[in-house]
Amino acid sequence: MFSPMFAASGQPSSMAVFSHYDRKANEVTAYFSPRASMLAALFRAQPCEKPSGDGIGLLVGNARSWEILFPERKRRAA
């Protein structure tokens, strides 16, 4: 569902979805960037504070979204 919305929006670097997997709770939490709010609404996602950039991964979106949405996060060497 992300791809068509992303394309229709002009592929903004600030449109992304990140995820975090909590092993203890066996639960995945998704963080939709503000530019992905229309997609979040389709999943009935609830608004929340932006999470820390640690412990999450980019699920869909442009790789530049890291530096735009989480500028405080240091880029890790691959």
DSSP secondary structure code for residue 50 in this structure: P
User: pLDDT tens-digit profile of 2-15?
Assistant: 999 999 999 999 99
Report CA-CA distances (Å) from 12 to 37, 68, 73, 77, 78. Answer: 13, 11, 20, 25, 24
In this prediction, residue 78 carries a pLDDT of 45
| Residue range 19-70, pLDDT digits in tens | 999 999 999 999 999 999 999 999 999 988 899 888 999 999 999 999 999 9
Which tokens belong to 28? 């995945």
Per-residue pLDDT of 15-32, as tens digits, reads 999 999 999 999 999 999
Which residues have a Cβ under 8 Å from the Cβ of 20 and sit 6 or more positions away?
28, 29, 31, 51, 55, 56, 57
